[in-house]
Structure 1
């Protein structure tokens, strides 16, 4: 029997059309997942959590979320305390007794105390700019341990503090103490945290200028920070303490950093926008999203693949989904408060924003 070539050809054409149609539908659905309209701000709830003892402005800066205990650690600076917020009840516990002192900021003297926190191995590390020390607190009992100087010569005070699990170290970005040579702060200070309860100064890593912001890739042993004056982002090997890469994000106003370590996307806050950098392939800028002016510290939820950026002058929090190509897709823009800056991602679709002017934390949750 002769084959029915005509019918087979028609069938093949139908199959081909069907395959093309299925492919087009798949592309449409995938594209729709990333191009759908942003979630309305009304779908988010903004709760104000007042900090104990705050009767006015509080010089809030770096704070941290401990996923293991469900606690948000907020160094409350000029109140001389560290406040701990329970993520379920929003109840606030206070750890008091931290010294305060004067620093100079933009030509003015202000009173500060503890201003930075980082989650370690069963402990929380607190940087106190008021007396230029680095302190240890038990993450469960809230018992305060010993405090050590931020540097052997006591010329610098902690700015950002970050625990580096890959090497069991604590790295700090710094600022000069009042009256000290500003050049002293052009470095990172590194502490041995092999005994989590007892920090020991280990080394100093010289830099071209002041460091701003941080992120760490513990799997690959890389520490990221911005260098202010040259306007560049650098990657430092956490074992050799050598700079292994330098990138230009395209801005002179560099602020916070956040990292998607699985996909190697590094997010850099640049004044009024955030750029996505391909840290695994030469530091190419992949995308940019406008947030409004006044960015500071940003954060990223690896579970939800969502970037959070709070713009203080725009009084808005931007939430953006990040796709597999490092592209941003606006999820929501939520009104906050003038001066509210610095954000930390919590569990699920929860984010926390500092509101220094009112001495409070703004908790954002998806309804």
Structure 2
């Protein structure tokens, strides 16, 4: 009887510990200066944070400022070319991309693109920098060696974010069409358009092992077969998702949900089976994110807000811009 009591007590204690375990905000990095934000990216221990008219560079371990890239008005995204040791920012209000040296932070040039370049990334198959141009509904392919656009692809909708399989296939979330467009980078043509069955697709991630796409939509994460376009799964997440990343080491998908102020975590059991593990508190406004595989750390930019007035969007409190550092803790 006593042994049974001890066993029950041990199981209860383990269950209580498990309930307290999860993802939580470990610390907060304050970043001075006014203005909004969009994407955040990690590179070799540094965080590159879009911040209205500039990019703040901070030490990912300490939060200390280590640099600023100015004159990137309306900056959305950040991308890196490892071979050239360069960084690229998509400047939405300037309709161009800023190129700077990663070693010195010296601005090298600016490259004109389509209108309102938003997401930006390095594409390994073509060895180009690609921007998703929201207003012109195009993709700009930039030759990083020549610093010029060498190809413009019409996608027939507002491209919010794109991912590559590294083999010549590109997948683009079309926010205004509620679709994913498949692009053949050998012909630079859209070859398919797949309905998501959900609205407002924004963040997009890809698992090369299972050939699955993860599209963050309004209240849902939609999983697509990247070959057929078939919807594999549709899972509930928080509201206001604008970022999705895939943790390859643990087969986890993270979505940052700015309206709900939480982080949804989904497990990929196999190519066709998924489960929501939980929705973990972050902060209102934390709608984008980046993930550091080495430290298993998630970073989300946000700010503090004034109380909502009627149906208006809450205003950001001056001087409260910040980056949340989220880790998994077993308590």
TM range (shorter): 0.7 to 0.9
Residue 38 of structure 2 is matched in structure 1 by 61
What is the SS of the residue equivalent to 1:354? strand
When you count strand as a share of all residues, which structure comes out higher?
2
Q: Give the 3 Å change call, closer, same or farther, for CA 213–99 of structure 1 in structure 2.
A: closer
1:169 is aligned to 128
| Stretch of structure 1 that moved more, 323-332 or 297-306 | 323-332
Q: Which runs of 5+ in 1 are unaligned?
A: 1-35, 101-112, 177-184
- Extract unaligned runs of 5+ from structure 2: 1-14, 304-315
Q: Equivalences for 1:1-367 in 2 at 5 Å?
A: 40=19, 43-46=22-25, 47-54=27-34, 58-66=35-43, 69-77=44-52, 80-98=53-71, 100=73, 113-121=74-82, 122-151=85-114, 156-176=115-135, 185-193=136-144, 195=145, 198-218=146-166, 220-280=167-227, 282-347=228-293, 348-356=295-303, 357=316, 358-367=320-329
Give, in angstroms, the shift of residue 63 of structure 1: 2.2
Number of aligned positions between the proteins: 296
Task: State whether residues 59 and 115 of structure 1, in contact with CA within 8 Å, keep that contact through their aligned partners in structure 2.
Answer: no
SS at match of 1:296: strand
Work out the CA distance in 1 between the residues paired with 2:191 and 2:212: 17
Deviations 1:153-182 (A, max 9, x none): xxx131111111211111111134xxxxxx
Give yes or no for contact 1:162–1:172 (8 Å, CA) kept in 2. Answer: yes
Output one character per residue of 1:281-321: Cα deviation in whole Å (capped at 9) or x when no partner.
x1222222211211112111212211110111211111222
SS in 2 for 1:61: coil
Contact 2:200 2:218 (C-alpha < 8 Å) held by counterparts? yes
Structure 2 CA distance for partners of 1:237 and 1:40, relative to 1, 3 Å: farther
Larger of the two Rg values belongs to structure: 1
2:161, 2:155 → 1: CA distance?
14
Aligned equivalents of 2:203, 2:17: Cα separation in 1: 24
The answer to whether the 8 Å contact 2:206/2:246 transfers is yes
Distance 2:89 2:191 in 1: 28
Q: Distance in 1 between matches of 2:187 and 2:18?
A: 45
Equivalents in 1 of 2:271, 2:173: separation in Å?
A: 23
Question: What does the per-residue CA deviation read over 1:236-271, in whole Å, with 9 as the maximum and x for residues that have no partner?
Answer: 112211122321111232221111112211001111
Equivalent in the alignment of 2:309: none
In 1, distance between residues paired with 2:147 and 2:28?
35
Contact 1:43 1:366 in 2 (8 A): yes
Cα deviation per residue 1:170-195 (whole Å; 9 max; x = unaligned)?
Answer: 1111134xxxxxxxx121122112x1
Decide whether aligned partners of structure 1 residues 37 and 171 sit closer, same or farther in structure 2, where only a CA change above 3 A counts.
Answer: farther
Which range moves more in the overlay, 201-210 or 42-51? Answer: 42-51
TM-score by length of 2: 0.82
Query: What CA RMSD, in Å, does the superposition of the two structures yield over aligned residues?
Result: 2.2
Tell me the SS of whatever aligns to 1:233.
Answer: strand
